[in-house]
Amino acid sequence: MKVRFHLTSVLYTFYSRGERVSQGLRRRVTEAGWFMIVTTFVIGLSGIDTQWSLHHQIFAVMLMVLLMAVLGLLVSRRPQLVARRQCPRFATAGVDLRYPVTVTHRGRRSYHGLRLREWLADVLPTRAEFVQRAEPRERERNIFDRTFVYYRWMWLLETKRLASGTTSDAFTLKSGESIRIMMQLRPHRRGLLPLRGLRVLHQDPFGLFQRALQIKDGQECILILPKRYPLGKLELAGRRQLDDPGTGAAASSTGHSDEFVGLRDYRPGDPRRHIHWRSWARLNRPVVKEYEEEFFPRYALALDTVLSVDHDLEFFEEAVSVAASFVSGVETREAVLDFLFVAGQAYCFSMGGPGASRASEKMLEVLATVEPTPDPESLRALKISIMRRAASLSAAILVFTEWSDEREAMVQELRARNVQCFVLVISAERRQPLADVHFLPLGEVGEALASLQVRLQPGAARFTA
Applying CB under 8 A, the residues found at the interface with other proteins are 26, 31-32, 34-35, 38-39, 42-43, 46-65, 67-69, 71-72, 112-113, 117, 119-120, 122, 136-137, 140, 161, 164-170, 172, 182, 184, 186, 203, 205-208
The least CB distance from residue 428 to other proteins, in Å, is 12
Q: Which residues of 255-279 are buried (b: 16+ CB within 10 A; e: fewer)?
A: eebeeeeeeeeeeeeeeeeeebeeb
**Residues across the chain:** 465
Which CB sits closer to other proteins, 29 or 366? 29
The shares of helix, strand and coil residues in the chain, as percent rounded to the nearest 5, are 40, 30, 30
Q: How far is the CB of 447 from other proteins (least distance, A)?
A: 18
Q: How far is the CB of 224 from other proteins (least distance, A)?
A: 15
Degrees (nearest 5) of the Cα angle 32, 33, 34?
A: 90
Using CB atoms within 10 Å of the CB of residue 153, give its burial: 0 to 12 exposed, 13 to 18 middle, 19+ buried: buried
Q: Is 341 within 8 Å of 304 (Cβ atoms)?
A: no
For 60, list phi and psi in degrees, rounded to 5. Answer: -60, -45
- For other proteins, the closer of residues 227 and 298 by Cβ is 227
Local structure of 163: helix, strand or coil: strand
Q: Which is nearer to other proteins, 115 or 256 (CB)?
A: 115
Sequence-distant (6+) residues with CB within 8 A of 93 are 187, 188, 189, 190, 224, 225, 226, 227
Please, what is the angle between helix 150-160 and helix 2-28, to 10°? 60
* Least distance CB 165 / other proteins (angstroms): 6
Q: Phi, psi (5° rounding) for residue 256? A: -140, 145
Secondary structure letter of residue 208 according to DSSP = S
Of the two residues 5 and 151, which places its CB atom closer to other proteins in the complex? 151
C-beta closer to other proteins: residue 129 or 314: 314
d(CA 185, CA 223): 12
Cβ closer to other proteins: 47 or 446?
A: 47
Q: Which residues pair with 275 in a beta bridge?
A: 288
The nearer residue to other proteins, 207 or 344, going by C-beta atoms, is 207
For other proteins, the closer of residues 205 and 446 by Cβ is 205
Residue placing its CB nearer to other proteins in the complex, 42 or 221: 42
Residue 8 Cβ vs other proteins, minimum distance, rounded to whole Å: 21
- In sequence order, the 6+-apart residues with CB closer than 8 A to the CB of 120 are 162, 163, 164, 165, 193, 194, 195, 196
CB of 69 to other proteins, least distance (A): 7
Provide, rounded to whole angstroms, the least separation between the CB of residue 78 and other proteins: 16
The CB-of-159 to other proteins minimum distance in angstroms stands at: 12
Q: Which is nearer to other proteins, 114 or 323 (CB)?
A: 114
- Collapsed DSSP state (helix, strand, coil) of residue 285: coil
Nearer to other proteins, 52 or 277 (CB): 52
Task: Please report, for residues 99, 102, 417, the alpha-carbon distance to residue 84 in angstroms, rounded to integers and kept in the order given.
Answer: 11, 5, 55
Q: Which is nearer to other proteins, 205 or 238 (CB)?
A: 205
What is the Cα–Cα distance from 368 to 326, expressed in whole angstroms? Answer: 14
Q: Running DSSP on this structure, what letter comes out for residue 443?
A: T
CB of 444 to other proteins, least distance (A): 16
As measured in angstroms, the least distance from the Cβ of 59 to other proteins is 7
CB atoms closer than 10 angstroms to residue 398: 25
For residue 107, which of 77, 132, 139 has the smallest C-alpha distance?
77
CB distance 209 to 69 below 8 Å: yes
Q: Minimum distance between the CB of residue 25 and other proteins, rounded to whole angstroms?
A: 10
Compute the distance between CA of residue 85 and CA of residue 233 in angstroms, rounded to an integer. 39
Q: How far is the CB of 403 from other proteins (least distance, A)?
A: 23
Which residues in 106-255 belong to E strands, given as ranges? 111-120, 163-165, 171-173, 178-187, 191-203, 210-215, 221-225, 233-236, 241-242
